[in-house]
Amino acid sequence: QKEVEQDPGPLSVPEGAIVSLNCTYSNSAFQYFMWYRQYSRKGPELLMYTYSSGNKEDGRFTAQVDKSSKYISLFIRDSQPSDSATYLCAMKAQGGSEKLVFGKGTKLTVNP
Amino acid sequence: DVKVTQSSRYLVKRTGEKVFLECVQDMDHENMFWYRQDPGLGLRLIYFSYDVKMKEKGDIPEGYSVSREKKERFSLILESASTNQTSMYLCASKLAGGGEQFFGPGTRLTVL
């Protein structure tokens, strides 16, 4: 079983839709959870950062962590064509290795 | 704002050449990382550095070496470039113990 699983998509939605992106993980020691947005031919950009459980909201974006289910989600409300990108989840345990573990990314297209 | 810069956006080299990729961060981060990213394979860690002069192999170190003489700078060296090293190379940095990792814009390397 991979440490982090992420559906690669591709996911195609109409403008204005609510988008749900998800990752599951197996390591219960993960405490730091991140979502990155990567536009084509660019470096990943940190979008959301959550420590431990709970929700975090930033504008149209909401990150949720459910540690009991080992499941994290990123919701995008009122999606825009400019949201078209690949979204990567990443996680890290507290203490131990400094390395992040990444999902392979979900490619999202928002159609006008 | 955290800034991670990479010396080149695009680079074309010939098989057998020695290639240097440079990365500089301006936030006094202890940890620095080099990844390569290929379609369908996601981000793969080549090497990382806990601090100055400290390095550790990642998942795919073969054919690469690194140098970290100053805290802000982390160099990736391809000793003898081969065509299978054609890829997008991404540098990243973060504070020791923290989760938030910041990426540079990437270098797209083509080896002919």
Asked if A24 and A71 touch (Cβ cutoff 8 Å), the reply is yes
Q: What is the pLDDT of residues A33-76, one digit of tens each?
A: 999 999 999 999 999 999 888 899 999 999 999 999 999 999 99
Hey, are the CB atoms on A46 and B58 less than 8 Å from each other?
A: no
Q: What is the pLDDT of residues A5-39, one digit of tens each?
A: 998 889 999 999 999 999 999 999 999 999 999 99
Interface with B, mutate which of A89, A100, A101, A104 (most B CBs under 10 A): A100
Hey, are the CB atoms on A46 and B99 less than 8 Å from each other?
A: no
Q: From the CB of residue B15, how many other CB atoms can be counted at a distance below 10 Å?
A: 11
Tokens of B35: 């990844």
Residue written as tokens 């989840």?
A89
For residue A33, the chain B residues in CB contact (below 8 A) are: 99
Among the partner-chain residues A31, A49, A103, the one whose CB lies closest to the CB of B100 is: A49
The yes-or-no verdict on residue A96 having pLDDT over 90 is no
The yes-or-no verdict on residue A1 having pLDDT over 80 is no
Nearest to A91 by CA among A71, A62, A112, A61: A71
